[in-house]
């Protein structure tokens, strides 16, 4: 049974309304843990992938913010997104080191961007993950659906142990949405967490479409989080409806600081504000919205409140 949308006194339908949204909640802005900035050549390939994905899903997937980097940075600033990621993900051997150099460099020259890195199951992975941590990486991203690898690949065992010890979060696209592969689903992540229960994980897209299984992992492991990226939106709900019976657990996890705002900006077929609108209409309360839109992300990524 899908979520039934409810009315709220807080509205956020257009991007121009986003600052008023977080101001009404008494927040200093937003923290978005799921934003993408990529090298130009890779970005063009990603956009071509989404252009082609639309027919596979039976509906178009237009990129709403097909803009240059500088324009997208300026738009996030205008929205009041005080901290955000530049998530890149290696999908074959030999990519991660160059990607990490680019994303870490982007963060160094872009105020508000949290230093990010990625990795792939390959010889030498532990060494370049150590190097990325030494260079200041504060969050990693892996995408098993695109990378076609298992999270419990033996080559990654030492990496999971290192990141668990360091307490550095990993944003993981492990759910089977929008298109399943043999490596997606909750089982591989559950196997990793059984070996590394202190690992800090952010499950992308609320784990769609296996919401229940991934929320259960978050309920079981105190350092497992979920991000809201594209979940609950008008685009995603027909593809992977969020079950209404899971709303109490989603509320509890959010109030515990375990649900984080994510958007997938710029690769989204709607305005940024619609992700916020989708959260508001759940009617889980202003305290929940404050936790999701600022408090949990700021705590996880060590984001200070703006001054002045």
What pLDDT is attached to residue 9?
A: 55
d(CA 8, CA 103): 38
What pLDDT is attached to residue 110?
A: 98
d(CA 33, CA 75): 16
* 129: its two tokens: 């993950």
What pLDDT is attached to residue 2?
A: 44
CATH number at residue 187: 3.20.20.140
The answer to whether the peptide bond before residue 266 is cis (omega within 30 degrees of 0) is: yes
The pLDDT tens digits along the chain (308 residues) read 344 444 445 677 899 999 999 999 999 999 999 999 999 999 999 999 888 877 667 788 999 999 999 999 999 999 999 999 999 999 999 999 999 999 999 999 999 999 999 999 999 999 999 999 999 999 999 999 999 999 999 999 999 999 999 999 999 999 998 888 899 999 999 999 999 999 999 999 999 999 999 999 999 999 999 999 999 999 999 999 999 999 999 999 999 999 999 999 999 999 999 999 999 999 999 999 999 999 999 999 999 887 76
What pLDDT is attached to residue 295?
A: 98
Residue corresponding to tokens 């990496």: 159
Residue 58 placed within a domain: yes
Residue 5 placed within a domain: no
Domain count, the chain: 1
Residues 6+ apart with CB under 8 A from 1: 241, 243, 244, 245
Residue 4 placed within a domain: no
Residue 210 placed within a domain: yes
Buried b (16+ CB within 10 A) or exposed e, 243-266: eeebeeebbbbbbebbbbbbbbbb
What pLDDT is attached to residue 308?
A: 61
* 191: its two tokens: 């196997």
pTM of the predicted model as reported, rounded to 2 decimal places: 0.95
Residue corresponding to tokens 């978005």: 32
What pLDDT is attached to residue 1?
A: 38
Residue 6 placed within a domain: no
Residue 305 placed within a domain: no
Domain with 153 in it:
15-298
Residue corresponding to tokens 């079981």: 220
Residue 308 placed within a domain: no
Residue 8 placed within a domain: no
């Amino acid at each position: 049974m899908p979520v039934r949308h409810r009315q709220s006194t807080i509205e956020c339908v257009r991007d121009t309304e986003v600052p008023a949204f977080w101001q009404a909640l008494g927040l200093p802005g937003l923290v978005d843990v799921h934003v993408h900035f990529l090298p130009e050549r890779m970005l063009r390939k990603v956009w071509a992938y989404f252009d082609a994905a639309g027919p596979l899903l039976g509906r178009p997937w237009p990129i709403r913010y097909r803009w240059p980097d500088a324009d997208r940075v300026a738009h996030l600033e205008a929205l009041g997104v005080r901290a955000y990621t530049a998530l890149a993900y290696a999908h074959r051997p030999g990519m991660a080191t160059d990607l990490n150099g680019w994303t870490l460099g982007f963060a160094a020259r872009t105020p508000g961007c949290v230093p990010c890195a990625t990795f792939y199951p390959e010889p030498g992975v532990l060494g370049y993950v150590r190097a990325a941590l030494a260079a200041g990486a504060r969050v990693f991203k892996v995408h098993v659906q695109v990378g076609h690898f298992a999270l419990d690949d033996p080559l990654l065992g030492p990496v999971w142990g290192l990141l668990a010890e360091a307490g550095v979060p990993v944003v993981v696209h492990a759910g089977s949405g929008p298109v399943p592969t043999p490596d997606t689903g909750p089982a591989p992540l559950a196997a990793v967490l059984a070996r590394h229960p202190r690992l800090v994980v952010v499950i992308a897209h609320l784990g769609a479409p296996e919401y229940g299984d991934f929320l259960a992992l978050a309920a079981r492991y105190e350092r497992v989080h979920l991000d809201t990226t594209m979940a609950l939106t008008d685009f995603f709900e027909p593809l992977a409806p969020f079950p209404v019976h899971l709303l109490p657990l989603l509320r509890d996890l959010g109030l515990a600081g375990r649900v984080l705002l994510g958007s997938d900006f710029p690769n989204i077929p709607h305005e940024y504000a619609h992700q916020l609108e989708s959260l508001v209409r759940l009617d889980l309360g202003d305290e929940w919205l404050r936790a999701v839109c600022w408090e949990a992300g700021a705590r996880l990524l060590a984001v200070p409140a703006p001054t002045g």
